[in-house]
Amino acid sequence: MTTRRAVLAATPALLAAPALRAQSLTIRQDDQPAPGWRRGVLIRWGDRVVFDALPWDPTQPSVDAAAAQFGWDARILAVFASASPDGVARAVLAVAHPTVDPRMAFPDGRDRPDVAGAMQGVSLLNIENRGDWVVVDGGFQNRRLTAGTLSRVGSDGTLASGLVGVTGGCATPWGSLLLTEGDAATWRARLPGIDPATTGMVVEVDPTNPLWVPSKRAALGRFAPADAAAALSADGRAVVWLTDGRAGGHLYRFVSDDPAGMVALDAGRMAAARIEGGSLRWLSLPEGDPVAGARAAGATSLDRPWGLAFDAARGRLCVALRGGAGSVLELRAAAGDAAAETGVAETLIDGIAVAMPDPRAPAAPVPAWPWAPATLGFDRDGSVLLGTDRGAVPGPLPEALFRVPVEGADRGRAALVLAAPVGAAIGGALPAPDGTLLAAIAHPGAAPGASFAQPATRWPNLRPGEPPRSTVVTLAR
């Protein structure tokens, strides 16, 4: 049987670093900000998004209430800075709600597919800084996109099903919000009214226009991408990278035919990445199924490629590989052109899996280090914001948010920012316009064997009888 001493002896690189010895964690019912970070609460499951939302009553879930409230799960996608003529910092925050677990979301543990379809989707929120960041009550751009939201295929296409299973997305340089329906198959089985032909796609939204009808971009394929990142090519075309989150999945790139804009993603070319010995090459794919095309072309199979983030200022694309202990790749295009056919690929950081200790041994802290990177972002200094999510894989470490420099002597050296409470995952992090970090703590309390009535924690409020709530938190130094 593996002992704790043997487990710790297997990670000498961590234990040799004095800075990391101080970052040791145990799984707790509460979250754990690292020293020097102050944590606040921005919005929680059930809080009002639309101005006329019903009060949150988790014991009486309904479609009408859920469709106007912050959803059950949480994944931060994008922050769009807004004009501030009065000097108050403002932004539009986009948060996805990928899943709804019946055992944790509903009092009796029985699924209510229609309510679940309204609890999932996306929340768009006006936020502003009045000493602390807050959601603007009655904000003009506050809205929810759900399974019942009217959508269309293409810029002028036919009507389509609503949004389901949005696992990722990003802001684009041309001002739109991209959403990836990465969990579409699960929701198609759960919601019989959803049209299989118009799900599992990249969806484009104008975050500033509440009247914009979400547009599903068929030219980017229908393979349920897990996440997206976007850039401009040297000649001004739209570039979008996509991950296929399955084991053996590929990294894809779409380059538009026309200059970037709100209709550019209707036509373009798909390619898949081949990574060999530190070199990157994009292999053109024929029209049709991107997955079959990537396999036929000899694209590199990756171990559950998931989160994506692009740093436009420094020309870096980072890709999180979630399989096993996980890792993060850093890709840089030739001549800094996002549409270049070649580039370089390096490993930024490798995850470390920590075995469960001997249950007979006293509980002891475990050195904090990323295990199963799932979400990525960049802070204003160009460091990677890395969130972990092992899923159902047990371990002695809580899921956590780390800051990972990509330059200098500290390159690849993860520094803990926030550890999540028991049962939770880190659902992404991005900086607000003033540099304050916005981070999502997703589905707290959802540990194996937990339920609505008996969660593993009642975070964030820790009130008797109140279920745990996915929450967007603020993190300031």
Q: Domain holding 107: CATH number? A: 2.115.10
B/e letters for 220-255, b = 16+ CB within 10 Å, e = fewer, are bbbbbbbbbbbbbbeeebbbbbbbbbbeebbbbbbb
Is 294 within the bounds of a domain?
yes
Residue 470 is which amino acid?
S
List strand residue ranges (DSSP E) for 352-470, in order: 366-367, 373-378, 384-388, 400-404, 415-419, 425-431, 437-442
Q: What is the pLDDT along the chain (477 residues), one digit of tens a residue?
A: 333 333 333 333 433 333 434 478 999 999 999 999 999 999 999 999 999 999 999 999 999 999 999 999 999 999 999 988 888 999 999 999 999 999 999 999 999 999 999 999 999 999 999 999 999 999 999 999 999 999 999 988 889 989 999 999 999 999 999 999 999 999 999 998 899 999 999 999 999 999 999 999 999 999 999 999 999 999 999 999 999 999 999 999 999 999 999 999 999 999 999 999 999 999 999 999 999 999 999 999 999 999 999 999 999 999 999 999 999 999 999 999 999 999 999 999 999 999 888 888 877 888 999 999 999 999 999 999 999 999 989 899 999 999 999 999 999 999 999 999 999 999 999 999 999 999 999 999 999 999 999 999 999 999 999 999 999 999 999
- What is the Cα–Cα distance from 419 to 44, expressed in whole angstroms? 17
Is 254 within the bounds of a domain?
yes
Is 195 within the bounds of a domain?
yes
Please tell me the predicted confidence (pLDDT) of residue 188. Answer: 95
What total number of domains does the chain contain? 1
The alpha carbon of residue 472 and the mean position of all alpha carbons in its chain are separated, in whole angstroms, by 12
Is 6 within the bounds of a domain?
no
Q: Which residues contact 304 (CB under 8 A, 6 or more apart)?
A: 245, 246, 247, 249, 321, 322, 323
List strand residue ranges (DSSP E) for 285-351, in order: 302-303, 305-311, 316-321, 327-333, 342-350
Residue 249 is which amino acid?
G
The alpha carbon of residue 283 and the mean position of all alpha carbons in its chain are separated, in whole angstroms, by 27
Q: What single DSSP character describes residue 197? A: G
163: containing domain? 46-356+367-389
CB atoms within 10 A of CB 361: 11
Is 124 within the bounds of a domain?
yes
- Residue among 447, 448, 439, 445 at smallest CA distance from 467: 445
3-state secondary structure of 220: helix
The alpha carbon of residue 21 and the mean position of all alpha carbons in its chain are separated, in whole angstroms, by 28
Alpha-carbon distances of 233 from 173, 276, 283, rounded to whole Å: 11, 23, 17
Residue corresponding to tokens 């329906």: 181
- What is the Cα–Cα distance from 89 to 127, expressed in whole angstroms? 9
Is 446 within the bounds of a domain?
no
Q: Which helix (H) or strand (E) holds 237?
A: strand 237-243
Is 219 within the bounds of a domain?
yes
CB-based burial of residue 287 (10 Å sphere; 0-12 exposed, 13-18 middle, 19+ buried)? exposed
Please tell me the predicted confidence (pLDDT) of residue 2. Answer: 32
